[in-house]
Amino acid sequence: MGSFIMDKFVINGGKPLNGTVRISGAKNSTLALMPAALLSSGVFHLRNTPVLRDVNTMAALLRTMGMGVELNEHVLTLNTTGVDRYEAPYEHVKKMRASIYVLGPLLARYGRAKVSLPGGCAWGPRPVNLHIEAIRKLGAEVDLKEGYIIAKAGRLNGARIHFDISSVGATGNTLMAAVLARGTTVIENAAIEPEITQLAEFLITMGARINGAGTSRLEIEGVDILHAADIETIPDRIEAGTFLVAGALGRGTVTLTGVRPAHLAAVMAKLEDAGAHLTIGPDTVTLKAPPELRPVDVTANIYPGFPTDMQAQWTALMAVANGTSVVTDSIYFDRFKHIPEMIRLGADIEVKDNAAIIRGTHHLAGAKVMSTDLRASASLILAGLVAEGVTEVLRVYHLDRGYEGIEKKIRALGADIERVAGEEF
Ligand code: EPZ
C-alpha cells in the first residue's frame, strides 16, 4: 500500500439487511502477537490473520528489523532468524501507535530498543508513561531524546508493577518484557481484554511461565529462552459488534459466523435492551432487528464492560432510536469526532464533557461526511445505511486500517454500498 488513495464509500441508504457474514481475525490481537515473535529466533505461523492496513504497517516495521513477514491466505509467517536492528523509526510509529509493542520484546531479547514516541491521535493525547515506568521498574535505563524512547538493560529483573490505570498496551509490553527477565514479575491491575489473554497464551506456547492469564493479576516467572510457536488468532469482537449494530439498524436478520460470543457479552446485552432478538451458537450469533429501537444508555469501560471501540457505532444506533439516550466514554474523554459528521446526516446530538446526549430521530438524510479515525468512520457507514438518499463517506483509508473488505461484507447483506476510487496523492 505505497501511495495514499483517498477512496470514498457511496451508500444508498434504507435497504434492509439480511444474511450471513464471517468475522475476521482480531486486529488488536494480531498487532500484539506479531512483535511477540521478536522474543525468539525461529519461524512462527499466525493463522486467521486479518488482511488490514494496520497489519501491513506492523509487517513493514518488523521487516526493517530484519524479520521475514509473509501473509498468504490469512496465514502470517514470521521468520525472526535474521533480526538485527532494534529501532522503530518515527516514519512507522506515526502511522500506528501499536508500533510501541516492539519496545518490551526488543528490550527483553536484545537488551536495547530505540522506539519513537507515538504522539497524539485523532481524539487527543494517548500517553505511554505506564509503558516507560514499567520497563524502568524491570531495571531498564530509559532516556527520552528527540522524540524517541531509548532503552537499554543487561538482563531485566523481575519486579512488582501496579498499574494505576488498566492499560491494554502497557500490560502487553510489560508481559513481553518480563517473560525473559531474571526472577518473578507481578503485574497488578493488568488489562484483561481478550487480546491480552491471547498474548499471554501465545507466550506460554512459546515456553513462557505465566500464571493468571485472563485475570488482573499476572505472575511471570522469567525463563532463559523461548521458542517459536503457532497460533490461531481470535475473532475480532469489535468487527463483530459493528456488524451486530448494522443488523439492528437493518430491519432484518443477520448471522455472524466465526465469532466468540463470550467476548461480545456487553454489546449483546445492550442490543437486547434496545429490543433486538439474539440467538447464540458456539461460534455464531444471529440478530433479528426490532421493529423499533429503544433508547439505551451505555458507558464505555475496560473489558468486560462496553468497549470504547464500539461507542461511536452505538451512537449511530441511538441516533435513530425512539427516545433519548446518553453515551459516555470513561476511557477516552474526547472520542466524539464523529458527532459533527453525524449531525450533518440530521442526527440530534449534543456533547457535554465525555458524554453524548442523543435525541433519536426517525429521519436521517444522506450527505457527504468525513472519516477522522477508524471507529468514527465505521459509525458513519452505519448511519449512512439508514439515512435516506445518498451518503458519501470520505477518506475511508481509516476503515481499511481495521475492517477487512467491509463494503463487500455489508453488500453481501443487501446494502447498496460502493467503494469509489478517489484521486491519488
Ligand atoms: C488499545 O489501545 C486498543 N488498541 C484500542 O483500540 C482501544 O481503544 C484501547 O486499547 C482501549 O480498549 C490496540 O489494541 C492496538 P490503553 P491502547 O493503554 O493500548 C491511558 C481500535 O479502535 N494510558 O488501554 O493504546 C490512555 O490514555 C483502537 O482498534 C495512559 O494514561 O489503550 C487511555 O485513557 C483504538 N498511559 C487508557 O489508559 C499509558 O501509558 C487506556 O488506554 C497508557 C494508557
Distance 50 CA to ligand 1 centre (A): 20
Rounded to whole angstroms, how far apart are CA atoms 167 and 400? 25
Q: pLDDT by residue (tens digit) across 76-126?
A: 999 999 999 999 999 999 999 999 999 999 999 999 999 999 976 777 677
pLDDT of residue 1: 39
Average pLDDT rounded to a whole number, residues 325-329: 98
| Mean pLDDT, the chain, integer | 96
Rounded to whole angstroms, how far apart are CA atoms 78 and 82? 11
Rounded to whole angstroms, how far apart are CA atoms 367 and 330? 30
To test the pocket of ligand 1, the residue of 28, 101, 171, 337 to mutate (highest count of ligand atoms within 8 Å of its CB) is 28
Among residues 6, 43, 117, 121, which one is catalytic? 121
Average pLDDT rounded to a whole number, residues 140-151: 97
Ligand 1 atom closest to residue 238's alpha carbon, by position in its atom list: 29
- Is pLDDT at 423 greater than 70 in this prediction? no
Q: pLDDT by residue (tens digit) across 25-34?
A: 999 999 999 9
> Which cell goes with 283?
461460534
Cβ of 130 closer than 6 Å to ligand 1, yes or no, is yes
Q: pLDDT by residue (tens digit) across 282-318?
A: 999 999 999 999 999 999 999 999 999 999 999 999 9
Distance 331 CA to ligand 1 centre (A): 8
Ligand 1 atom closest to residue 333's alpha carbon, by position in its atom list: 34
Check residue 81 and report its DSSP letter.
Answer: T
Rounded to whole angstroms, how far apart are CA atoms 36 and 183? 20
Cβ of 31 closer than 6 Å to ligand 1, yes or no, is yes
pTM: 0.97
Q: pLDDT by residue (tens digit) across 214-238?
A: 999 999 999 999 999 999 999 999 9
Distance 293 CA to ligand 1 centre (A): 30
Cβ of 128 closer than 6 Å to ligand 1, yes or no, is yes
Rounded to whole angstroms, how far apart are CA atoms 395 and 4? 10
Cβ of 121 closer than 6 Å to ligand 1, yes or no, is no
Rounded to whole angstroms, how far apart are CA atoms 263 and 297? 20
Cβ of 127 closer than 6 Å to ligand 1, yes or no, is yes
Cβ of 331 closer than 6 Å to ligand 1, yes or no, is yes
Is 121 considered catalytic here? yes
Rounded to whole angstroms, how far apart are CA atoms 226 and 242? 37
To test the pocket of ligand 1, the residue of 61, 168, 330 to mutate (highest count of ligand atoms within 8 Å of its CB) is 168
Other beta carbons within 10 Å of 82: 11
Rounded to whole angstroms, how far apart are CA atoms 122 and 340? 14
Provide CB contacts within 8 A for 108, sequence distance 6+: 39, 156, 176, 177, 178, 179, 180, 181
